Structure 1
């Protein structure tokens, strides 16, 4: 999640755990602890693929954070004694640190909670920025600064509301998952790996990716849809060249759970993470191979994806509200004739009137 959310969560957790000993300084310390695991972004692992895959690694591991919280609490108590017992201080520090990666595990990117075991954990029921999760925490922390005699209770209330929102997001995701299973039953895509995650800033409109053998389906489904059938768009997955060995390609395959796409763009082979983005606007794309006479692996190069346009927002908002009034094929406008007019299908993805 974003830094503001993690700071608000850390502050609220610190206030709740501190109880009657809570103070503005405790809230500030909790906010700092809540953002601490993300300092791994300053570490360079040598190439863009490694930087992506190894982010949220050791600094988000329960096997690291729990012992670190004990060491930090002991050092804190030795250097600057507090009103807390060592056990109470350790609990406060540990919970502030640990709730950070636990929250991150509810996003599409995933979190290596059990590093050095290299298995990203992800239950992607939240978008990386969601005001409906963050605002209750911020309000609780701000209110506790004003009404200091109720700090712990207000922080606990904010945590309760935000936690209920996570529960709602899981219920909504399960609802969409049931729709997908029912619609694909009896088709070649039945039982195939499926990735479901909310679209930006909400938990009503969900993006669905179903990975087949040679192609994948992509579409959007809103909790508010009257007709729950999803208009899927079928797109090729592409293939990695036989005989070409790339450790970075293997890393991406493992990290994404196989949800990647291969596109030949001129002489380069670009690998895209299908989990993060929409349509052709995929957040993580890397050139990993190059062809002259034959394909050879190259050092990873980050490829910029097309930027989302503000003009998309009203259409996506209408799709969120259940609008099913338009129909189209998926294609990014920037790749098409200038006279193309942006529309949205029930899949909710931008396309031009003219074919690409």
Structure 2
């Protein structure tokens, strides 16, 4: 999740556990601890793909954060012994553990068990979701105004947790709605990703991939009887084969669970993480290989410029959420003619 949300979550947990004892300083302590795991972004791992895939790595691993909690709690206890070591440990441990757990609900991926296993990505909440964050901020504001505001800050934590549970229920509803459509299209065996569109959990993006093609759909919980409409995008299995065995290509495929789109641009092969963003506006594209004249050779990956945000399309998202617009074409972020399809 975004830094504001993580800071608000950490501050809320600290206020709930230690607000009566530490006062307003509990919020600052919790906010700082809540952003601590994300400081890994300052590390340069030597290439664009490495920086992309190492983020949310060791600093988000439960196997690292749990033992580190004991050390940080001991240091804070020596600093302010007014709060017992047990409560410091509960405060630090909960904040450091909930940070990666919350991140795991997003699509990016969180290496909860680094250095073992693949990243965990539940994909039930967008990286910025006001309905999750606002209850936490409300509790923190109430605490600052009149500490310890225990009821308000605990209510914020409860509401945000219930909202997170709602995202799972909404995601499951969309999955049940899209599976018959995919089966009818012969895509019942396709690898499936269901994730919310930006800033909400009423409108969802569905991505189904096979080696030869991928299908995308926008599904709204307020669609009524309107069935999802699939858009098809070709894939380049020849380019995927060309970079097979290249370390950075393998790393990117591992990190994205295979949701990678390859394309050729001149003498280079580019790879795009198609989980993030939307077609035509994916933020993470990397150069992986170059034609040396004797075949494709790996290169140190570089990130391509981020595509500009189409602000004119944002009102269409709201119209699609409410059901006013029954179909939204992802490829162009436009509405087809009445009765037409993408």
- TM-score range (shorter-chain normalised) is over 0.9
The residue aligned with 1:218 is 216
The residue aligned with 1:5 is 5
| 1:227 match: secondary structure | coil
Matched, 1:209 2:199: no
The residue aligned with 1:130 is 129
CA distance in 2, matches of 1:145, 1:163: 22
The residue aligned with 2:25 is 25
CA distance in 1, matches of 2:326, 2:100: 40
CA distance in 2, matches of 1:67, 1:201: 34
Distance 1:260 1:209, change over 3 A: same
Distance 1:21 1:193, change over 3 A: same
CA distance in 2, matches of 1:2, 1:244: 33
CA distance in 1, matches of 2:38, 2:87: 24
Do the aligned residues in 2 keep the contact of 1:205 with 1:221 (CA within 8 Å)? Answer: yes
Matched, 1:59 2:50: no
Do the aligned residues in 2 keep the contact of 1:11 with 1:30 (CA within 8 Å)? Answer: yes
The residue aligned with 2:87 is 88
Distance 1:224 1:269, change over 3 A: same
Match of 1:191 among 189, 192, 202: 189
CA distance in 2, matches of 1:257, 1:54: 15
CA distance in 1, matches of 2:217, 2:112: 30
| Cα shift at 1:122 | 1.1
CA distance in 2, matches of 1:207, 1:326: 12
The residue aligned with 1:259 is 259
| 1:119 match: secondary structure | coil
Matched, 1:103 2:102: yes
The residue aligned with 2:323 is 322
Cα-to-partner distance string for 1:55-100 (whole Å, 9 max, x where unaligned): 001111111111111011112223x232122111111111111111
Cα-to-partner distance string for 1:14-35 (whole Å, 9 max, x where unaligned): 1112263251001110011001
- What is the TM-score when the length of structure 2 is the normalising length? 0.93
CA distance in 1, matches of 2:244, 2:250: 11
Do the aligned residues in 1 keep the contact of 2:135 with 2:159 (CA within 8 Å)? Answer: yes
CA distance in 2, matches of 1:223, 1:325: 11
| Cα shift at 1:222 | 0.8
Cα-to-partner distance string for 1:299-323 (whole Å, 9 max, x where unaligned): 1121124212110111121111113
CA distance in 1, matches of 2:29, 2:228: 46
- What is the TM-score when the length of structure 1 is the normalising length? 0.89
Do the aligned residues in 1 keep the contact of 2:270 with 2:289 (CA within 8 Å)? Answer: yes
CA distance in 2, matches of 1:345, 1:250: 38
Distance 1:84 1:270, change over 3 A: same
CA distance in 2, matches of 1:35, 1:243: 36
Matched, 1:42 2:33: no
CA distance in 1, matches of 2:283, 2:180: 30
Gaps of 5+ in 2: none
CA distance in 1, matches of 2:97, 2:108: 17
RMSD (CA atoms) = 2.0
Do the aligned residues in 2 keep the contact of 1:287 with 1:301 (CA within 8 Å)? Answer: yes
Gaps of 5+ in 1: 333-341, 352-356
| Cα shift at 1:237 | 1.8
CA distance in 1, matches of 2:324, 2:200: 16
